[in-house]
Amino acid sequence: MVQSPSPVTLPVPVARTRVGKRLSIVAPCFNEQEVLDLFFERIEDELSKLGVEYEIVCVNDGSRDHTLAVLLKHHQRNPKIKVINLARNFGKETAMSAGLDATTGDMIVPIDCDLQDPPELIGQFIEAWENGADVAYGVRVDRSADSFVKRLTAQGFYRAFNRMSDVDLPYNAGDYRLMDRRVVEVLRQLPERNRFMKGLFAWVGFRQEAIPYARPERAAGTSSFRYWKLWNFALDGITSFSTAPIRVWSYVGLVAGILAASAAVFLVARTLLQGNNVPGYPSLMVVILTGFAIQMLAIGSLGEYVARIYQEVKGRPLYVIMDRYGFDQ
């Protein structure tokens, strides 16, 4: 008699406690002078209630206004506010990486400083962390603050991305999240230069928990993500996590080859049965179609190699270990 396997009980993650732990906030700032005073007021108020030591690492990403001066003013008032000044505008993804590298806390929270990521959520993040989550990420329950076009394109992007790559981006999750130190250490070890953080966050794995929230409009200033920038951002995301666009050509070639062969049979048969009323057309058509198919197949096979080279040069670790049982330390 075959015995059904007894249900496996997974080890319950040890309940963690925030006591004695440190929290690092990472805030990339680009032209945010109008909103920063309010940002610090809200976040410091929230952090003071949480019962953890904290630091706020602000990265001035080459702002062209007085962002740096405002940040330094707050740093002087509260030494827990630390400032990194990048030499020029490197873009949010890179600014965030610079900030993550500088953090020292046991829990790390990247946050937008335009107050679209409500600081009040951090308490819930920490609770999820205490209950064993390594990552607690905010999910927008309604995107009504975004325009219709932005919502539509965002949806299309998530769908396309999840189809084409092996990591699944959770719908409507942004960068706002709390990560355990060990998750951040894995992120920091990823050597790739093109840092599509949303994708990397999903790639690392670990125990992730979604926390729903309503995303408000930015408190002041203007968004620096215009459609052209978003389009490039989407391209960055897809090209760093999928090789489909470069590998699809073999299949286009295959389909073209089948069409070329059918067209050849059809044209030859028609010429034999009905005679040839346009001299040269059937042979020319067959040559063009076959040539096209061969070229596509050739490009596609190059694509297979380039895709593999690309995967190698990204140099991502092969795997990420979350826990080890029964090994000496």
Nearest to 186 by CA among 204, 202, 174, 199: 204
**What count of other Cβ atoms lies within 10 Å of the Cβ of residue 191?**
10
**Does residue 81 interact with ligand UDP by CB under 6 A?**
no
Tell me the residue length of the chain: 329
Show the binding pattern over residues 113-152: x = contacts Mg ion (CB under 5 A), - = does not.
-x-x------------------------------------
Place of tokens 């990403």: 61
Give the helix/strand (H/E) hosting 28.
strand 22-29
**Does residue 223 interact with ligand UDP by CB under 6 A?**
yes
Q: What is the closest distance, in whole angstroms, from the C-beta atom of residue 32 to ligand UDP in the complex?
A: 5
Q: Which of residues 65-124 bind Mg ion (CB under 5 A)?
A: 112, 114, 116
Strand order in the sheet with 208-213: 81-85, 53-60, 22-29, 107-110, 173-180, 135-140, 208-213
Name which of 219 and 285 has its Cβ closer to ligand UDP.
219
Whether 74 contacts 148, CB under 8 Å: no
**Does residue 266 interact with ligand UDP by CB under 6 A?**
no
**Does residue 303 interact with ligand UDP by CB under 6 A?**
no
Residue type for 315, please?
Answer: G
- 25: which strand partners? 56, 109
Q: Which segment (23-31, 126-134, 206-214, 239-247) binds ligand UDP by CB under 6 A?
A: 23-31
**Does residue 61 interact with ligand UDP by CB under 6 A?**
yes
Contacted by 225, from Mg ion, ligand UDP, none: CB < 5 to 8 Å by type: ligand UDP
**Does residue 224 interact with ligand UDP by CB under 6 A?**
yes
Among 22, 181, 182, 218, contact with Mg ion (rule: CB under 5 A): 218
Among 68, 85, 89, 154, contact with ligand UDP (rule: CB under 6 A): 89
Place of tokens 């929290």: 23
Contacts of 6 (CB under 8 A, 6+ apart): none
Q: Which residues bind Mg ion (CB under 5 A)?
A: 112, 114, 116, 218
